[in-house]
Amino acid sequence: MMTQRYRSRLSGPLLDRIDLHIEAPRVAHKDLAATCSAESSAAIRARVEAARQIQRRRLEPFGLHTNSQMQARHLKQFCRLDAEGEKLLEMVVDRLGMSARSYSRILKVARTIADLTGEENIRQLHLAEAVQYRGLDRKLG
C-alpha cells in the first residue's frame, strides 16, 4: 500500500530520465544461505571494461564515451533492430504507452546489454532484457 502511494507520486517525465527501474524483492533466508557458484567480481569487471572499450571505440568520432550519451541520430546508426526486435519494441511501446524518452532508454540499455555479451547487433533477447529494466513504466503505464 505504501509502495503504491509512493510510486503514484513519481511523475512520468521523472521516471523517463532513469535508465533502469529494478524491483528488489525480499530474499528468503535459505536463498541467502545457499552456497552456489556465481560469476566472480573480477570476471564481471573484465566484461564491463570490455563493453566500455567497445563503446568508446564506437562513439569516439562523435565525442561521446558511453551509450547513455547517444542522441537520436546515434540510435538510428548504432541501435538498428531486426524484424523481431522491431515487432517486440512496437508491441511494448503500444501496450505500455511509453514515451519517446523511454523508447530511447530501452534502445540504449539494449545496446549496452549487447556490448556486454560482445555482440555487434542488438537481438530480441537484449531488447527483452532492457524492457524488464523499465519495471516502473509497466506498473504506472
Each of the 141 residues of the chain gets a pLDDT tens digit; together they read 666 665 556 656 566 666 666 677 788 888 777 777 788 899 999 999 999 999 999 999 999 999 999 999 999 999 999 899 999 999 988 888 878 888 899 999 999 999 999 999 999 999 999 998 876 554 444
Q: How much is the pTM?
A: 0.78
DSSP 8-class letter at 81: -
Q: Would you state the pLDDT for residue 74?
A: 96
Grid coordinates representing 35 are 552456497
d(CA 122, CA 11): 30
Q: At what angle do helices 100-116 and 41-59 cross, to 10 degrees?
A: 120
Give CA angle at 103 (97, 109), nearest 5°: 135
